[in-house]
Amino acid sequence: MAYGGITGIALGAPNVYRAPDLRQRLLNPARMDVCAFVGVAPRGPCRVPIEPDACVPGRVYLEASRPRQRSVAVAVESWTDYQRLYGGFEGPGRLPYAVASFFEQGGRRAYIARIVHHYGNSDDLAACARAILPDFISSAAIPALEAKSEGSWGNGLRAAVGYSSTPLAISSASSSSELIVDIEADVPLGSLLRLTVMIAGSPQYELRFVVQQGRRGNATGSQTERYLRFDSALTAAPVLAEIIEADILLEDGRGLRERFNRLGLSSEHPRWLAAVLYRESELVNPVDGWLESTLWPTDSHAMPRDPVKRLVDIPIQFEGGVDRYQDIHVDDFFDSGWVLGDPRPGAGIHALTHLRDLSQLVVPDLYVPEALPENLPDFTPVSVAGAEFATCVDIDTPAQTFTQLAASLPGLALDPSLPADLKIIIELQQKVVRLAEILREFIVLLDVPPGLSQAAIANWRMQFNSAFAAAYYPWLLQNNLQDQRAGLILLNPSAAAAGIIARQELKFGVPHGPANVVANNIVKVDETISPARHDQLHPLGINIYLQQPLGVWLSAARTLSLDPAYRQLSVRRLMTMLRRTLEQQMQWLVFEPNHPDLWAEVRHMLNNLLRGLFRQGAFKGRSAEEAYFVRCDASLNTQQVLDAGQLIVEIGVAPTEPLEFIVVRLTRGSDGTLGLEE
């Protein structure tokens, strides 16, 4: 039936009728602005224990024999997020500068993978700062905490322990090992009780853990009562009872503070202290050895109450954290054991293999061509606000020599001016590009090594032929007023390009070429490219930054593919977006009845998606018919195809290429007038 435009409802007497659910499926273009950064940081997630396949929820599995994932990809939504997890600019790597530039250019989401050296033995965890918790007595090993990741940053950690008590109403004490409490009392298994008993007329404290609790009928059978059973019998019947829970306060010395309240002191407690710190803290982990134990306060009579006051008066100090930058090697950026199809991500750049929203990759520390400037002593951020002009930045500050790298990142130091080092740089970049070609999920943004001659750049470019890679040159110089280094920073050109790509994607969409814009917070280019050199490098697919009156301008967005069809970066990104959209949003097709009604619905969805992209200028053609086509009919889905349980859809698109050249002809008339002809 049909009435009032609603079908399928039999309308009788006047009333409110429920309309049938309308099954409307839409395809929305997948997100393409997310970038991953892989490099060296002073702190941050690494060597994370891999959870067993069959683990008990809430339990901590940190046995020393357990495998650990050396590199992990963690998403950050801002520079503040990055600082909280990975620190600031104090390390020797360019990772923080690259990430900061990404967000300055307009990026909104990035994955970070921190590189640390693979020792392959107990030395993996030897550089984490540790501290003993003196406020507890353990049934097993001495309770201790270690910094969440290795590095000297952990030596700035401070901790304090406090306790809170909650009165517990006692109904009766049926025996010396059992207590009857209010039926609604919330006393989880593993709770620690402080019970006051009278011994020779004097009150004494006794601590007991709840090992069993539940409800049952009382002695008369007329009511239900809640009972608590202890781990050992009391000396006498209690007159008072309190639930004791721990509070832990942590501070990293850089403004990050964590507080965890109502922690249990037994591994049976739902908020077991070790489990909560492991799951929720960004600063510390419990050390192996006491994870399944029971903790008692060292003093049951005068337990500290306020951890904030203790953090000021007698904080627990961490020590033993060491920076091991000198051990990091170029091989640490890769996982030689990873193969396509592994259920778990690998290490280095292979930590990104499970990400499905990643669109571009930058590896700012893959090789280090020049040391960062020295740290300034007693650095205090300079404010430029006020009525007077600040001192101008000296853009001619000389950089450190290459030999000064030996003390910071010797395992990554490669001098592009040396043929042997340049060969290694190319091999490393080729390995990154090879992974991108295998996964077909993201574009690798490469840095052309700095200081190369025109011929050397051309030779470098000929080592690549991939639509999943784009190259940028020259390197950039930036000044960061929040940094503690003297002089300008030599920044990877790919870092700023990643932010520009994200900015243009968020503003205009994938079809728009991610170029022809000014890079924010860039002082100058490391090498000025003349128009003649630019004319030679652009056809090679090298995306050039140019020094312009308004700033440093990214002039192009090409890939390193020799195939003219994938010459433009926007085309490769468009095709990746289409494939990703279909893979992620068409899974509902599985187990659908394969018949003409389904084919019609698929055609409708795909046409809606492609029509929207056509209106954005993604495809060539004066009409939609010239720009794309969708086929899903009986000619493709024959009976043989149907019997095999398959559905075949053919999609064809004609991507448009961004306008790169405008030719203007200047003519002079016989009367002396000038005319412009496009």
**Sheet with 524-525, side-by-side order of all strands:** 489-491, 476-478, 524-525
| Of 556, 557, 649, the residue nearest 602 (C-alpha) | 649
The low-confidence residues of the chain, meaning pLDDT below 50, are 1-5, 54-55, 64, 378-384, 393, 395, 397-406, 678
**Helices then strands (H, E): number in the chain?**
12, 34
Tokens read off for 482 = 């929040």
Domains and CATH numbers, the chain: 35-49+67-119+325-570 (3.40.50.11780), 128-317 (no CATH), 586-678 (no CATH)
- Report the distance separating Cα 151 and Cα 128, nearest Å: 6
**Per-residue pLDDT, 667:** 64
How far apart (Å, rounded) are the C-alpha atoms in residues 355 and 358? 6
Residue 533: which residues within 8 A CB-CB, separation 6 or more? Answer: 454
Residues composing the chain:
678
Beta bridge partners of 264: 272
HEC sequence for 544-575: EEEEECCEEEECCCECECCCHHHCEHHHHHHH
DSSP string computed for 27-62 = --PPP---EEEEE--SS---SEEPPPSS--TT----
Residues 360, 35: Cα–Cα separation, whole Å = 5
pLDDT recorded at residue 54:
44
Predicted pLDDT at 388: 58
With CA atoms as reference, report the closest residue to 642 among 592, 587, 583. Answer: 592
- Side chain identity at 430, as an amino acid letter? Q
Burial of 87 (0-12, 13-18, 19+ CB in 10 A): buried
What pLDDT does residue 217 have?
73
As a three-state string, the secondary structure of 343-367 is CCCCCHHHHHCCCCCCCEEECCCCC
Confidence at residue 406, expressed as pLDDT on a 0 to 100 scale: 43
Check residue 7 and give its pLDDT: 53
Tokens of 146: 């270690």
Helices (DSSP H) in 404-546: which residue ranges? 419-439, 454-461, 493-508, 531-537
Among the listed residues 585, 603, 592, the one whose alpha carbon sits nearest the alpha carbon of residue 651: 603
300 in Cβ contact with 203 (< 8 Å): no
